[in-house]
A and B are shown apart, each in its own frame.
Chain A
Amino acid sequence: MFHLPTVQFTEEQEQFRLEVRAFLHEELKKGSFVPKCDSWLSGADSEFSKSIAQKGWIGITWPKKYGGQARSTIDRYILTEEFLAIGAPVAAHWFADRQTGPLLLRYGTEEQRQFFLPQIMKGECYFGIGLSEPNSGSDLASVSTRAEKVEGGWIVNGQKIWTSNAHLCHYMVTLVRTSPFDGKQKHAGLSQLIVDLHAEGITVVPIKFLTGEHHYNEVFFENVFVPDNMLVGEIGNGWAQGLAELAFERSGPERILSTFPLLDELIQELKRQNNTEGLKQASKIVARLWGLRNLSIGVAQLLESGEGDNVSISAALVKALGTKFEQSIPELTRLLVQTYPTLDAQRKIDRFMAESILHAPGFTIRGGTSEVLYGVVAKGVVAQ
């Protein structure tokens, strides 16, 4: 078991939440977006990302010298929750904001920070995450995309897969093998390179999602030149650097709230029907959500304070529990109200149902499969 801190939001934070909410309701009223379930994967809208950027809400935790606001992880948490709860289209800038920025702040060169961070914060520069390969899903140590050293840079050959929104992204942080695979030290010899997705030798091929939509891609590298200054951190340290990102990636509200718009609509529907029995069932779901939020916010607080060595284990636990929860919402919904899931339905609940059912299988896979996370957590518990 894990002891996570409790967080009471300050008055300023509560005020900030309402400010974000008011902005989103205004945008909704203007019709600048249509709420969606799983909007952090499927809601890529560069205009919307730019309007968020104008509010200063991309990279709000980053240092002021790069244009950030140096605000707390908890502030970012609140912001993220509000986006997801309403189903705002945030996918375009999501990965750059969540992962690339913190990665560069921790391991990047000053030149990389000066170059990329301001662009990301303007909502004009998106990053893909180049980890998975066709034969290495959870087993990242088996990554085989290789980078060979040449004068002034690297030549990359290989293939990445499941890269969300690569077709919209400008760059990809790519995990590559810079030394031959060593069976005794599986995690050695991996490095992270920033690859310009518009460079020569890159081919991005769509993989249609089971909704028929285009979110995922295969990315092929054929003799792609990557200059030396695009190496992130140290050569051979790619594994450790990647691990450090995981706590940020795994414990956030996006692992709990992907189907929240559906849950919200379910409650509205039960209210319209004056269905008190249904609402009693729904109160159990609300309690589950509350219980998970406590953990997720607790991990955010640990990340903020930099305490707790096993924060990555707690984060893995939150992801495993949270994704199971968000996955359960469409199932519970269909038992409580009548719906006809259809992607282009008039009724919101039918559309949210369709999005949730069709997206749900991915929740417990992306960002670490539950099976792998269970192994990580179990070892952590036993070691305590």
Chain B
Amino acid sequence: MKIVTGNDLKTGAVTWWTGYDWSIHVEDAVDAGDEADAIMAREAAACRVNNPYAIDGERDADGKVRPAHIKDRVRALGPTVRPDLTLKPADPEARDWVI
């Protein structure tokens, strides 16, 4: 699957295209299929998100969306070396989700 990501213009936070809006949780991302280019062009013009781009996504064992490449998994979670600064600070398994 193709998922579309970018960084929120104001906060720089990593965001994911949900089909109608942006979410900071990758689980909310949808398969953009053939529409990725159109979504990116429209959203870049709307100046809410920086540099949107499409990446390969996959579903984990629970069926939740997760980026295929480690770099985007680190982006999706937050730094693996500061659990307190990740999106899942209380989840001891968060780091394993990346690697």
Do A and B come from the same complex?
A: no
**B residues neighboring A (CB under 8 Å):** none
